[in-house]
Amino acid sequence: MFKPKSIFFEKDIENYALGRQLMEQYKDVPKVEIESHNAIEEMRKKENKEFLNMKGNLIIGVRKTHKFVPNHKISDFLVPYTSSGCIAACMYCYLVCNYNKCAYLRLFVNREKMLEKIIRTAENSEKTLTFEIGSNSDLILENTITNNLVWTIENFKNTKNGFLTFPTKFDMVNSLLNLEHNNKVIIRMSVNPEEIINNVEFGTSRLKGRIEAINKLKEAGYKVGILIAPVIFVENWKPLYLELIQRLSNELSEKVKKDLFFEVIFMTYSYVHTKINEEAFPDSINLYNKEIMTGRGRGKYWYKESIRQEGEKFFREELAKYFPNNDIIYIV
């Protein structure tokens, strides 16, 4: 389990069972009391090169915003849930909006309030709703610290008209396998070629582990998906992604392949990423490529239309070849 270097905590967390549990679990770790998890003065002053060091800290607070954001890709709503940020360090992570604020893992202990709102919204709805609860962090990773996913699935399983979904890059799924989930949870495994995982997605599970995890989750009755994301157009992207698709075809179980679905997302990048990565990972590859990327407003970059089109054609053709019976929900 993750052992933080320091814990920054809001006083109020002691009024919540999970807050008390975490303080006990980490009783030997040095602690600093803070006013708000959103404004930690000590962190704001750090330099970019300290990015990885900062991820060794854990912030524990109470979530104040509970606004659901309508979504039209794989869910009906993006829901702020029990954590934000992450202890891994993928070089493109979109949670690195401003490293002082978002990079490290923040846990929110008022989980009862958050789940109650989801359940109430589902039960008051006339149509079935899907809630994306993993857009701010990686819940499989978080679960190894808080057990929140186990708690969530157990408390959500009898909800009418609702599904939960989240993506992950981790393989620590054993605690979910024997749960009664009533088919209410859709788990999407995010994958990339081995070479990209090793050189860009620092601190995440290896491809082999991710594939094994998805096979185990399917065997345990969960609905599963594969998220090829983010696609990074490195020089040799075609053979790398072809090999990935072939590996998935060979190593995913027949049961998974029966009703698996795909999402494909091309990488977006930003000026903030470039600055952090240059200083925090000076020996790593440069993900910004001005030949094939273009501005997208507010310091963000994405791939030019011509390479996006080539990418879409490639994924549609190759997935149709190796997974002729599976849907691609979207390519963006």
- x/- map, 233-262, ligand SF4, by CB under 6 A: ------------------------------
Strands 185-191 and 129-132 turn out to be unpaired
Strands 105-108 and 129-132 turn out to be unpaired
CB nearer to ligand SF4: pick between 84 and 152: 84
Which residues, numbered 198-237, are part of the site for ligand SF4 (CB under 6 A)? 201, 204
Closest approach of ligand SF4 to the CB of residue 86, in Å:
3
**Length of the chain counted residue by residue:** 332
- x/- map, 280-319, ligand SF4, by CB under 6 A: ----------------------------------------
Q: Report H helices in 169-295.
A: 194-200, 207-219, 237-251, 254-259, 271-280
Closest approach of ligand SF4 to the CB of residue 200, in Å:
9
CB nearer to ligand SF4: pick between 206 and 258: 206
Strand partners, 162: 129
CB nearer to ligand SF4: pick between 168 and 215: 168
Cα dihedral across residues 270, 276, 278, 282: positive or negative: negative
d(CA 332, CA 260): 19
Q: Check residue 188 for interaction with ligand SF4 (CB under 6 A).
A: no
Residue type, 277: N
Q: Check residue 149 for interaction with ligand SF4 (CB under 6 A).
A: no
Residue 214's φ and ψ, nearest 5 degrees, are -70, -35
For the chain, the straight-line distance linking the first and the last C-alpha, in angstroms and rounded, comes to 35
Q: Render 166-196 in DSSP notation, one character per residue.
A: EEES----GGGTT---TT-EEEEEEE--HHH
Which residues, numbered 79-138, are part of the site for ligand SF4 (CB under 6 A)? 86, 88-90, 93, 95, 137-138
112: tokens are 């009862």
Closest approach of ligand SF4 to the CB of residue 122, in Å:
25
Find out whether 87 and 55 touch, Cβ atoms under 8 Å.
yes
- Please give the DSSP secondary-structure letter assigned to residue 16: S
Closest approach of ligand SF4 to the CB of residue 123, in Å:
30
- x/- map, 158-187, ligand SF4, by CB under 6 A: -----------x------------------
Judged by CB under 6 A, how many residues of this single chain contact ligand SF4?
11
Q: Render 88-154 in DSSP notation, one character per residue.
A: SEETT-TT-SSHHHHSSEEEE--HHHHHHHHHHHHHT-SS-EEEE--SSB-HHHHHHHH-HHHHHHH
Closest approach of ligand SF4 to the CB of residue 88, in Å:
4
Closest approach of ligand SF4 to the CB of residue 263, in Å:
14
Closest approach of ligand SF4 to the CB of residue 167, in Å:
8
In this chain, which residue has its C-beta nearest to ligand SF4? 86
d(CA 11, CA 175): 30
Closest approach of ligand SF4 to the CB of residue 240, in Å:
18
**Residues lying near ligand SF4 in the complex (CB under 6 A):** 86, 88-90, 93, 95, 137-138, 169, 201, 204
